[in-house]
Structure 1
């Protein structure tokens, strides 16, 4: 193990530049965990290994190094199945405290949480860090009961995350669409599918890498197919709303071509320019066919292209029944109907 604190050569006068990065190599990870133990566990006389837990393998890790490559700050973000992110194991070396590195680390982890579409960020803050997190917008929920082996008091801090605030165009429609996905297709919420952006021209979605990986640590093909399907369907739904049309959108045929394995945080992009349709037929109450294309990326590298053909119908029995029961909706909400590959069953 690298003895980091003893080798740090950080002074107020000599160091002015710091670099934020994700630990990736075996050497970086070894230094990262060593730093966590030295800063957070060794002062409490806890053994080696106590600086790690079972969630590290699926978590997001960040570290800050100085110009000479010395590790000076670390932090971790873990996202659970309830769309909640937790900040843990955050520490800054005493020699570089009060330089804003703690704020940089916390804001970076919060940014990652926002990109993953979580509903809130929590942390178990030590008593002397409560004021620090409060300045960043976290609300103190009270003291946490900790084991008697830990002499330091901890407090639960929570910060809500409004993940659709940055939508450039029709954020209200995007919020309605995402809620409809979660309500009618529960798998989309379990996968963590989230609308990332809508400009009126492009529609972008994403989902967490964690929980959607295969045994090879790349993105699971089934998750990517589902993400692409929802993205293309979502853009068509938004396009119909832009044109004051409603109805049922049915995925009749689809296929996907992979050019390379996709790793990293995935995103799916659908562009109006890639759609081919005749919506005048729909406006006249007839069926209209829409051809769509969705590009799939991981770490900003394209790995697959999804192409699908949908049939848009002005009304459906399901929508009419729902409207007759409520009599409140002015426009029928388009219903998702997916034709699964190699199957004859349709899901509405």
Structure 2
């Protein structure tokens, strides 16, 4: 399925936001890829993220995973008209294989997203667990589980 003009524009807007507000994403050359609402993919090139073995530094893989979950939730909250402080609370990952080219992280809103929104609206604070997968040349390189906390700004 081809990306719509809206999906491409949203990806460019998210990339700009990340680079302006989280400087590390600019240094890593992270960019948002066109994705449908409720899903998000971020990518990063090999060169600025390489280690002495000419593979991607493990910290870059973890950072891309965390940024993907954060950006998915940031975007979804914006689409709901909600402004919230959004932070990572817990992160765990398994490195599955080395990456030696562009690497891509993907996440989607979980089934309990509506309950998360209800809690956030009613209590002003909510937590959400999110699985994130990274791949390189269509091979899995990292699986992660992250917990994010949102605090509604009133």
TM-score normalised according to structure 1 size: 0.40
What's 1:196 paired with?
A: 33
State which of 230, 241, 257 in structure 1 corresponds to 2:94: 257
State which of 121, 124, 135 in structure 2 corresponds to 1:286: 124
What's 1:84 paired with?
A: none
- Between the aligned partners of 1:231 and 1:238, the Cα distance in structure 2 is 10
Listed as ranges, the matches of 1:329-344 within 5 Å are none
What's 1:231 paired with?
A: 68
Q: Structure 2 unaligned runs (5+)?
A: none
User: Is 1:220 equivalent to 2:51 in the alignment?
Assistant: no
Is the 2:65–2:134 Cα contact (8 Å) retained in structure 1? yes
- C-alpha RMSD of the superposition: 2.1
What's 2:149 paired with?
A: 311
Pair member with larger Rg = 1
What's 1:302 paired with?
A: 140
Which deviates further from its counterpart, 307-316 or 275-284?
275-284
Is the 1:235–1:270 Cα contact (8 Å) retained in structure 2? yes
Q: Structure 1 unaligned runs (5+)?
A: 1-165, 317-348
Listed as ranges, the matches of 1:1-348 within 5 Å are 169-273=6-110, 278-315=116-153
Is the 2:134–2:143 Cα contact (8 Å) retained in structure 1? yes
Report how far residue 177 of structure 1 moved.
2.4
| Bigger helix share | 2
The alignment partner of 1:216 has SS state of coil
Report how far residue 175 of structure 1 moved.
3.1
Report how far residue 209 of structure 1 moved.
0.8
Q: RCO greater where, 1 or 2, for CA within 8 Å and sep 6 or more?
A: 2
Change (3 A) 1:230 1:203: same
Report how far residue 269 of structure 1 moved.
0.6
Residues matched between the structures, number = 151
- Between the aligned partners of 1:168 and 1:302, the Cα distance in structure 2 is 29
Change (3 A) 1:167 1:194: farther
- Between the aligned partners of 1:182 and 1:275, the Cα distance in structure 2 is 29
Change (3 A) 1:199 1:227: same
- Between the aligned partners of 1:266 and 1:196, the Cα distance in structure 2 is 12
The alignment partner of 1:229 has SS state of helix
- Between the aligned partners of 1:292 and 1:275, the Cα distance in structure 2 is 10
Is the 2:7–2:34 Cα contact (8 Å) retained in structure 1? no
